[in-house]
Amino acid sequence: MHHFHYVGHDLHCESVDLAGVARLYGTPTYVYSAATIADNFHRLQQSLTGLEVQICYAIKSCSNLAVLRHFANLGAGFDLASGGELRRVVAAGGNVRSSVFAGVGKTEAEIKLALENGIQAFHVESEPELVRINHVAGQLGVKAPIAIRVNPDVDAQTHAKITTGKSDNKFGIPLRHAAAAYEAAAKLKNLQVRGVQIHIGSQLTDITPFAEAVKKMVPLVAELKAAHGLEYFSVGGGMGIVYRDALASGQAAWWAAQPPERRPITPEAYGAALTPLLAPLGLRILLEPGRFLVGNAGVLLARVEHLKRGANRNFLVLDAAMNDLVRPAMYDAYHEIVPVHRDSSRRALVADIVGPICESGDCFAKDRQLQEVGEGELVAFMSAGAYGHVMASRYNTRGISAEVMVSGSAFELVNARESFEQIIAGEKVPAFLK
């Protein structure tokens, strides 16, 4: 469910007309719905009924300070993937003490920064990393809290580039080596074991791999709890969202109309499958959702530059490009694209929807059907809140797009469009070329 809907002919985010946002702040611009984020958060928090749940929002999915403050106000902790993300939490007024630090290659400087800020735990991905964290903690004279990421070797049945829980992936310590890794950690005197973690992949649309992974882990987690006094089990993130019917899925009626076997994953189904498996462990359960919380809470607004009618196909050329939203080019991801002003009297158009960047990969959709739209009109990419703005680049010397947050009838620019001066600020011509 989300808060993007047409009022009359015009697409709104909550009570705000998106055409008005584009008029004020230009395009391409990401727009986020604060109410959708809050709804998603509360729904997920209530899904594991009876368990002590801590949500650590995966910052990597959308990391502007406004979104982070919103999560901090909701009571979330954070799942960090770098020192930069940690500094964002601090800048946004979030709580590092309820946050966890993930990643296969944390540097000594990042480990130090996290310890100085009182991180809840490092999610450790390898034996050499245990040694490194122990070393840095020793230098600071503190004990570093850790949880080991275990790779349960489960097929998440998602895109190859975002699956993480197979033994072929670079992540975690294999299940059969995990007990030994905990023994090794217990012997390192500057470490303090706090928990255990898994994360099997992203955009999972079926509950089965989650349940399979947890089932595989439960005996080990119980054993580790007895041996090392664990406080928590983090089951990672990964819950998928609706991309194909993104706009319609904002309405309860759409969900009710889906036959049970076709109904996408929901927090309630996730909770119903996992709660009975997790409850006997008697541990706090951490969740590290990114996409589920923000994915359907954001759209990317773009303007039509031209409708180019070719010999064999039409091209709808937008002012947004693969540098603004890379998911279609990178993962062949589908994003629904809708007109901001809907007009049922218009003819339908079938076109490739493309950006202005000089490569054929700069294509958002092939043979997409939508209402005919012309130069200067606006379209919105639905479900663009997660892994949208954060993955933007400056390719073709295009500034990073703006971000706006909406709450009810209020909206504010929360991240200004990057200027040319900002893009080149760190560059210079060396003396030997002058």
User: Footprint of ligand LLP on this chain (CB under 6 A)?
Assistant: 58, 61, 79, 102, 162, 199, 202-203, 236-239, 288-292, 327, 331, 386-387
Across the strands, what pairs with 369?
Answer: 350
Question: Is the CB of 121 or the CB of 373 nearer to ligand LLP?
Answer: 121
Question: Is the CB of 289 or the CB of 339 nearer to ligand LLP?
Answer: 289
Question: Is the CB of 70 or the CB of 327 nearer to ligand LLP?
Answer: 327
CB of 410 to ligand LLP, least distance (A): 27
- Spot the catalytic one: 13, 62, 358, 363: 358
Residues 133 and 224: their CA atoms lie apart, in Å, by 20
Question: Is the CB of 27 or the CB of 202 nearer to ligand LLP?
Answer: 202
Q: Angle 367-253-5 (CA atoms, 0-180°, nearest 5)?
A: 60
Active site residue 13: no
CB of 103 to ligand LLP, least distance (A): 8
CB of 102 to ligand LLP, least distance (A): 4
CB of 78 to ligand LLP, least distance (A): 11
Contacts of 340 (CB under 8 A, 6+ apart): 10, 11, 18, 19, 22, 301, 377, 378, 379, 380
Q: 10-13 and 4-7 as β-strands: parallel, antiparallel, unpaired?
A: antiparallel
Question: Is the CB of 160 or the CB of 410 nearer to ligand LLP?
Answer: 160
CB of 428 to ligand LLP, least distance (A): 33
CB of 56 to ligand LLP, least distance (A): 8
Question: Is the CB of 14 or the CB of 125 nearer to ligand LLP?
Answer: 125
Closest by CA position to 417, among listed 387, 394, 434: 394
Question: Is the CB of 304 or the CB of 384 nearer to ligand LLP?
Answer: 384
Question: Is the CB of 21 or the CB of 62 nearer to ligand LLP?
Answer: 62
CB of 291 to ligand LLP, least distance (A): 4
CB of 57 to ligand LLP, least distance (A): 9
The residue type at 319 = D
DSSP collapsed to 3 states, the chain:
CCCEEEECCEEEECCEEHHHHHHHHCCCEEEEEHHHHHHHHHHHHCCCCCCCEEEEEEHHHCCCHHHHHHHHHHCCEEEECCHHHHHHHHHCCCCHHHCEECCCCCCHHHHHHHHHCCCCEEEECCHHHHHHHHHHHHHHCCCEEEEEEEECCCCCCCCHHHECCCCCCCCCEEHHHHHHHHHHHHHCCCEEEEEEECCCECCECCCHHHHHHHHHHHHHHHHHHHHHCCCEEECCCCECCCCCCCCHHHCHHHHHHCCHHHCCCCHHHHHHHHHHHHHHHCCEEEECCCHHHHHHHEEEEEEEEEEEECCCCEEEEECCCCCCCCHHHHHCCCCCEEECECCCCCCEEEEEEECCCCCCCCEEEEEEEEECCCCCCEEEECCCCCCCHHHCCCCCCCCCCEEEEEECCEEEEEECCCCHHHHHCCCCCCHHHC
Q: Which residues are marked as active site?
A: 358
